[in-house]
Amino acid sequence: MIKKRKLGRGVALVGAGMSKFDMFKDRDSKDLFLEAFQNMLASVDKGCNPQEIDALYVGNFTNDFFVHQSHWGAILSDALSFVPRPATRTEGACASSALAFREGVFAIASGFYDAVLVGGVEDMSKGSTEEVAEGLSLAAIPYESQVGFTFPGVFGTIATAYFERYGASRDHLMNVTIKSHENAARNPKAQLNASMEDVMAARIKRAESKGRPTPTWIDAKAFLNDPRANPAVAWPIHVFDCCPISDGASCLLLVGEDIAKNFTDDPLYVAGMGQGSGRGLHAAQDLTSFEATRYAAHEAYEMSGLGPKDIQFAEVHDCFSIAELLHIEDLGFFKAGEGYKAVEEGHTRLEGSKPINTSGGLKCKGHPVGATGAAQLVEVWTQLRQQAGQRQVSGDLKFGAAHNLGGTGGTSTFTILERR
């Protein structure tokens, strides 16, 4: 059904950087994006004069609503001293900066530009809980929010359907959470830079400092099963199944494949790229699969000539733990209904056969929504170039991928990077 996609000019990735992800009281989008930009510049092996960059694409989802300011292309172009060079904002809810990446690829592949900065930024933590909940609901398909669905509600419903259909349980969601924390403990940029053991130790310390009885959890699952430690949000989704509210930024430098070696002897290449759209829960034939993701994956695999087996590790959009299970199935890494078993068997751990969310994922690295898609590709860059330190996937890495989801499945992207 899907035509074979190709690019008339190859596109390479020659730099990548991100800000620390966290909730910052005193940092705004410009400040965060500048940190990501500086880190990106520092990552370009042979250096990059910012004057060489032809254009900027920036993904942002909620700044209109949360900080009452739109037109971030122009504002960031000014902040980076790019004026009068062009800047464009893309928006696809939580997939906003994967869309920016894609437009940067097209702009270069078209022959129009040679070097394009792409990235994303989000500044979510300044609003009240109510404002944040309302703002995020703008991403959902209207039919969902109008009947009172929240994001945890949607993913709780999906989890229930998945449990019912395939025999999984909350225990299997916990395996995802525990693995995310394991990885994030090794990622200094992560917002929740702590293993489950660290989390439990901190809770015990806090209880003791307040003179409360010392909690006694025999392991992480006991903690996650303790309703005081990990209360339900929308059953079976509990607090530790949810990504946090985050501020942060990420960016990448794309150039024509033909000039990549001017920037580094070790560029990465865009091997495959796909994007799809979806209708939302009200119209889903199957609550345990995202049509948009399957389409995006198909497009990217077709373009690259690769299949799921060739992808050695991936970042996937784990806005909730259940989402990770669906995605690793929709992307073809595991068969439908077998993702939760693969996670249980350790296949998705750092030392497993298919490491997933080595960064800690949205759950622990954080999810500044507009920054996430590009930040996932920063992790793929870091892993492929063997620069991930304590969380480095072992072995010779050639293909890594990132999957980004917008809203409740309205937009989905899949991008395969190659190291030659």
As annotated, the active-site residues are: 94, 367
Compose the 7-36 pattern: x for residues touching a second copy by CB under 8 A, - for all others: xxx---------------------------
Near a second copy by CB under 8 A, which window of 62-70, 230-238, 352-360, 389-397? 62-70
Is 191 a residue that touches a second copy (CB under 8 A)? no
DSSP 20-56: PPB--SS--HHHHHHHHHHHHHHH-TT---GGG--EE
Question: Cβ of residue 5: shortest distance to a second copy, in angstroms?
Answer: 5
Taking CB under 8 A as the criterion, the residue among 22, 35, 54, 182 binding a second copy is 54
Q: From the list 23, 24, 31, 74, which residue makes contact with a second copy (rule: CB under 8 A)? A: 74
Residue 287 in the binding site for a second copy (CB under 8 A): no
The answer to whether 250 and 119 are in contact (CB under 8 A) is: yes
- Stretch of residues binding a second copy (CB under 8 A), selected from 95-103, 168-176, 202-210, 231-239: 95-103
CB of 345 to a second copy, least distance (A): 31
Do residues 172 and 344 make contact, with C-beta atoms less than 8 angstroms apart?
yes
Q: What is the largest CA-CA distance in the chain?
A: 67
Among 64, 266, 338, 344, the residue binding a second copy under the rule CB under 8 A is: 64
Question: How far is residue 234 from each of residues 45, 157, 159, 240, 308, measured CA to CA in Å?
Answer: 46, 8, 10, 12, 32
Q: How far is CA 412 from CA 94, 122, 145, 187, 221, in A?
A: 9, 19, 19, 25, 31
Sole residue written with tokens 């303790």? 226
Q: Does 331 bind a second copy (CB under 8 A)?
A: no
Torsion of CA 228, 21, 312, 99, to 10 degrees: 110
- Binders of a second copy among 113-172, rule CB under 8 A? 113-114, 134, 138-142
Site for a second copy in 219-278 (CB under 8 A): 273, 275-278
With a CB cutoff of 8 Å and minimum separation 6, the contacts of 336 are 288, 289, 329
What residues are paired with 402 via a beta bridge? 315, 415
Tell whether residue 366 is a contact of a second copy (CB under 8 A).
no
Applying CB under 8 A, the residues found at the interface with a second copy are: 3, 5-9, 54-55, 61-62, 64-65, 68-71, 73-75, 77-78, 82-93, 99, 102-103, 105-107, 109-114, 134, 138-142, 273, 275-280, 283, 291-292, 294-296, 406-407, 410-411
